[in-house]
Amino acid sequence: MKPSNEDLLLGIDIGTQGVKGAIVSLDGKVLAEAFLEHSCQYPRIGWVEHDIERNWWLNPSWVIQKMLLENEINPQQIRAVFPSGLHPNFGPTDEEGNPIYGAILYSDNRAIRELDEINQKYHLKLTSEEMIPKLVWFIRHEPESASRMKKFFDAAQYFVYRLCGEYVTDTISVGGWGAIYHSPSCSWKEDVCEELGIDPAILPRVVAPLTVVGEVQNKAAIETGLAKGTLVIAGTNDVTASTISGGATKTSEAIAYYGTAGLLPVMKVDMDFALRYPYPYEEKGERPQDGYLYDYPAYCLTTGDSLRWFRDEFGYEQRLIEAQNGISAYAQFDQLAESAPETCDGLIFIPHMLGQRSPRFNPYASGAFIGLRRSHTRSHLFRSLLEAWGYTIRYGLECYYPQGHPLKRLIATGGGARSKIWRQIVTDITGIPQEYAPNAEGSIADAYLAGMAVGYFENFDILLRQWLSPGEMIYPRMEKIAIYDKGYQQFVRVHQILEPLFNPN
């Protein structure tokens, strides 16, 4: 496609806690941004769901309308839209894409028996992160709904379907499903599907993330405000968008993602290759995620979510000030955290409020404050939440890479990375310098990927030179490392002591 000075690109990032959109010019100028917060549902302990229609369609549509109307942008200027979203999830629908059940999210732990069965039968090391155990659970435990299921979606792919009617998934995201997909050949394992009771007819077409899959249809144009005929790109997961938004595009580079979930995804092939071709290695069960683009040495489901929980349950005063004066409740809590000492006078927070993902998978783990004393205040409690993410990263890296981690560059991204004190705490605990990318938004990366998909950009050169702001470097402070080393050793000991207590057997 021949570029014009008036051409614009749209990125939409559907997250666990909200939707973020960005409309960007070809030279990287952000002309419009919008965000809408949404919530999860928790029907039972260990269950986590999204409302498919509201969270994955109505909310993104509202964000797009808001950007177009408030910034007086002509939708005809938008040449392509690229979505990313939380992943992996199981969102079942009927033939027409109407939801028949809540979307079972990546953080849901209901399918533990199915998970154990699949791991034992196929000699894999899946966790309850992967989607296929949830699909098998649904078929077995919700047979009436399952009989009406003709499709199932992740967040970004549902948005694509509602825009243009194409039922697809992408070659990066599907690598995180587990068991039924052969990555090198980009094909389904029909024998495994048959053994698990999965009808191959309900499986989506698998395409590369940069594939143009269709155009915005008339009904979607009315509901989103986009122009009919706008190109729709296949999209991918939010981990990939966040990684690119920080400027990490090589195997030696990684992000520390300060999001609802906190994770440190380590790429196993360069990003440019992964966006265009199937992942070249198959799942063999030799280690977790061995058929997927990323390793997850550090992963916590409730890194940012624990902060939101704290804000909602103990931050009435801060939320009131935010409503009256516009000062973020999280910024106010950061100020409180500044007043608490390193290691919080012995207070340790175990952050596994929805189960543990790393360095060992334990869906029965839970959150805990250890060492709580009468002298502790909200400042100590909140700071301990921040420190837990640093301890989690260090613990994960040391367990996953006992001979030393391969990282040459670590970039802090995600909404929580805006917190200067949090970035410094994590850097001091891990001893790894972090680069902070101030405009590292998944929605902006999505807009750039829309441009790559339609031929405006050949690679990431323009992204790195024009679109992304220079990063701020955060270095570990030598005088703090020894202090935090004691806190870290305590964090590890507490994990080891609590581990058998979390096991229901």
Does residue 265 contact residue 476 with C-beta atoms inside 8 Å? no
Question: Could you report the per-residue pLDDT of 260-276, keeping only the tens digit for each?
Answer: 999 999 999 999 999 99
Closest CA to 422 of 323, 306, 326, 324: 306
- Give SS3 for 320: helix
Over 59-100, what HEC string results? Answer: HHHHHHHHHHHHCCCCHHHEEEEEEEECCCCEEEECCCCCEC
C-alpha distances out from residue 318 to 39, 260, 334, Å: 20, 20, 11
pLDDT tens per residue across span 24-39:
999 999 999 999 999 9
Burial class (CB in 10 A: 0-12, 13-18, 19+), 155: buried
Output the six-digit token pair for 434.
């972090």
Average pLDDT over residues 103-113: 96
**Could you give the 3-state DSSP secondary structure of residue 171?**
coil
Residues 6 or more apart whose Cβ sits within 8 Å of residue 209: 170, 171, 172, 233, 234, 235, 236, 240, 275, 449
CB 434 within 8 A of CB 256: yes
Q: Which of 79, 81, 92 is nearest to 6 (CA)?
A: 79
Whether residue 453 contacts residue 211, with contact meaning beta carbons closer than 8 Å, is answered with yes
pLDDT of res. 181: 95
Domains of the chain plus CATH, in order, are: 8-241+441-467 (3.30.420.40), 296-419+426-432+476-502 (3.30.420.40)
- pLDDT (tens digit per residue) in 275-312: 999 999 888 887 777 888 998 999 999 999 999 999 99
Tokens 């100028």, residue? 29
Query: Mean pLDDT, the chain, as a whole number?
Result: 95
- On the question of pLDDT at 379 being above 60, the answer is yes
Confidence band, pLDDT 50/70/90 cuts, at residue 325? very high
Strand partners, 435: 411, 473
The answer to whether 9 and 79 are in contact (CB under 8 A) is yes
Reply yes or no on whether the pLDDT at 4 is more than 70. Answer: no
d(CA 419, CA 415): 8
* pLDDT band at residue 498 using 50, 70 and 90 as cut-offs: very high
Distances (CA, A) of 152 to 202, 255, 297: 8, 29, 29
* pLDDT confidence bin for 2, thresholds 50/70/90: low
pLDDT greater than 70 at residue 322: yes
Rounded to a whole number of angstroms, the distance between the first and last alpha carbons of the chain is 60
104-114 mean pLDDT: 96
**151: its two tokens:** 């499709």
Residue 111 — very low, low, confident or very high, per pLDDT cuts 50/70/90? very high
What tens digit of pLDDT does each residue of 458-477 get? 999 999 999 998 889 999 99
Indicate the residue type of 206. V
The runs of H, that is alpha helices, within 124-259 are 132-141, 143-148, 155-164, 190-196, 218-224, 238-245
Cα–Cα distance between 454 and 410 in angstroms, integer?
A: 30
Tokens standing for residue 51: 């409302």
- The values of phi and psi at residue 27, to 5°, are -90, 10
Q: What is the pLDDT of residue 250?
A: 93
Helix (H, G, I), strand (E, B) or coil at 52: helix
Q: Cis link prior to 200 (omega < 30° from 0)?
A: no
The torsion defined by the Cα of 19, 20, 23 and 25, in degrees rounded to 10, comes to: -140
Q: Indicate the SS3 state at residue 109.
A: coil
Interstrand relation of 231-233 and 187-188 (parallel, antiparallel or unpaired): unpaired
What is residue 500's predicted lDDT score, i.e. its pLDDT?
Answer: 86
Whether the CB-CB separation of 391 and 429 falls below 8 Å is answered with yes
Return phi, psi of residue 481, to 5°.
-60, -45
